[in-house]
Amino acid sequence: MIIEVSIKELKKGHFVVDIVKQQGCYNLSRAGHIKNNKTITALTLKGVESVLVDTTKSIAEALTAAPSAPIESTGPVILEVTKAKKLFNASKRIQQQVFLDVQQGHPINIAPIIDVTNETIAAIFKNPDTLACVINIRNKNEYLLEHSVSVSILMTIFARFLKVERSVIQQLAIGAFLHDVGKIKIADNILNKAGKLSASEYKIIQQHVNHSIEIIKATPEISAISLEVAAQHHERNDGSGYPLQLKQDNISNYGAMIAICDVFDALTADRCYKDGYSQIKAFSVLRNLARQGKLMPRLVDLFIKCLGVYPVGTLVELSSHRLAIVESRNQDDPINPKVRSFYNIDRHHYTLAKDIDLAKEADFIVRGVKANDFDLDMNRIIEFLLMQG
C-alpha cells in the first residue's frame, strides 16, 4: 500500500517512494529505505514535510508507527488529467474575476491568486506532467484567460526544474498569473486583430505592459519579484524588447525565464484567428530567437530539457501511420518516449489504445503534430483515452 507519511512520523525502515510536500525543491535520487535517523534529519532540514511510503517494502520495525490515511498512487498521466483540468478551470475563473475587477476600477484581490497558485505548485511538485498536459487542451476563444494561467504553470514547472526556492516560485507564479492583466485596457479590435498590426496599433499593444505594471503596483501585498517578472516578460537580450528596451545585463534571470514561457505558450496556443504550432516547432523558434540574441540560449536549452524533447501530453505521428499521445519520458533515451497510440491515419479512425515504449519497439516518431492537423479535437482525444482507461 502506498501511504503519505509526515516527516515527524517517518521511521528507520520506511521505504520512501517520493516527496509529497516540502518547502524547498529537493528531489530524491532514487526510492529506498530510511537507514538511520540522520537521513530523516537531513530531509527535515531540506524542508521536506511529508513523503510517500510503500508499506509492502518497509521493514517491520517502521510499521509500528501509526500510518496516515492511504492516498491514491499516481497512475498514467492521462488518468490524472481530469483533476488537473479542474484546477486549470478554477485558475481561469479567478483570472476572469481579476480582469473584471480591473475593468470596474477595483483593486485586485490577491488572496485567491495566492491560494490557486499554491494549489498549482503543490500539484506540479507532485507530478508536473499532468498540468503540462492540460495546457494542450485549450479553448481557442479564451486565449487571454488561458494564456496567463498557462504561462504561470509553465513558469512554475520551469522554476521547479531549476530548483528555485519554493517561496520564490510562488512569487514567480503570481507575477506570471498577472503578467498580461494590462491587456484588458487594450481595445478588442486591436488585441484580437487577425492580420498584421500597423505601426500605431503595435505601439498600442506594447502599452499593455505599462498598464500591467501600474495595476500590479497598486495591488496590496504584491512582491517585488512578482512585479519584476510581469514588467520584463517582453524585454529581449539585444534591447529590442519593450517597454524599457533592457539588454541582457539588466534583465533578471526570472525576467529571461518568463520571456521564454510567454513566447512558447503564444506559439503553441490555438487562437480564434490562427492555429498554434506543435511543441517541436515552437522549440525550434525559441532556439532561433536565442541565436538571434533575443532570448538567453542557456535558459532556452534548459527549458526544452525541462519539458522534454517530446513533452508529456503532446501528440506525435509514428512511422506506423498512427497518432499517439506522449505518456512519459525515457530519461536515458529522450527521443524515444513512452506513448499511447489511438488513431489510424490511413483509415481516419480511432483504434484501440495501445501503450508503446518506443525505446524498445521498431516504431519511431516521425514528427510532433497538433490535433487540428488531422481535423481532430484534443478534448475528444482525451475523452476517448480516458474511456480506454
pLDDT tens digit string along 120-142?
999 999 888 889 888 888 877 88
In a domain, residue 72? The reply is: no
In a domain, residue 89? The reply is: yes
In a domain, residue 130? The reply is: yes
User: Residue 1: what residue type?
Assistant: M
- Residue 146 and residue 112 in one domain: yes
- Residue 125 and residue 82 in one domain: yes
In a domain, residue 135? The reply is: yes
Q: Which residues contact 330 (CB under 8 A, 6 or more apart)?
A: 336, 337, 338, 357, 358, 359
- Residue 52 and residue 125 in one domain: no
Q: Is 188 exposed, middle or buried (0-12, 13-18, 19+ CB in 10 A)?
A: exposed
- Residue 22 and residue 123 in one domain: no
- The pLDDT, as a whole number, for residue 21 is 80
- The pLDDT, as a whole number, for residue 331 is 79
In a domain, residue 93? The reply is: yes
- Residue 293 and residue 204 in one domain: yes
- Residue 334 and residue 302 in one domain: no
Range of 320's domain?
Answer: 315-388
* pTM for this model (two decimals): 0.78
In a domain, residue 185? The reply is: yes
193: left (phi over 0), alpha (psi -120 to 50) or beta: beta
Distance, C-alpha 338 to centroid of its chain: 19
Q: What distance in Å separates the CA atoms of residue 335 and residue 332, rounded to the nearest whole number?
A: 9
- Residue 95 and residue 32 in one domain: no
Q: How many domains does the chain have?
A: 3
Check which CATH number belongs to the domain holding 244 and give it: 1.10.3210.10
In a domain, residue 218? The reply is: yes
C-alpha cell at 339: 506513448
- Residue 105 and residue 16 in one domain: no
Q: What is the mean pLDDT of the chain?
A: 89
Residues of the chain with confidence (pLDDT) below 50: 61-74
* End-of-domain residue from the set 307, 334, 364: 307
C-alpha cell at 62: 517502521
In a domain, residue 124? The reply is: yes
- Residue 265 and residue 175 in one domain: yes
- Residue 339 and residue 200 in one domain: no
- Residue 217 and residue 190 in one domain: yes
DSSP state of 318: E
* End-of-domain residue from the set 13, 37, 64: 64
- Residue 195 and residue 297 in one domain: yes
* End-of-domain residue from the set 290, 307, 324: 307
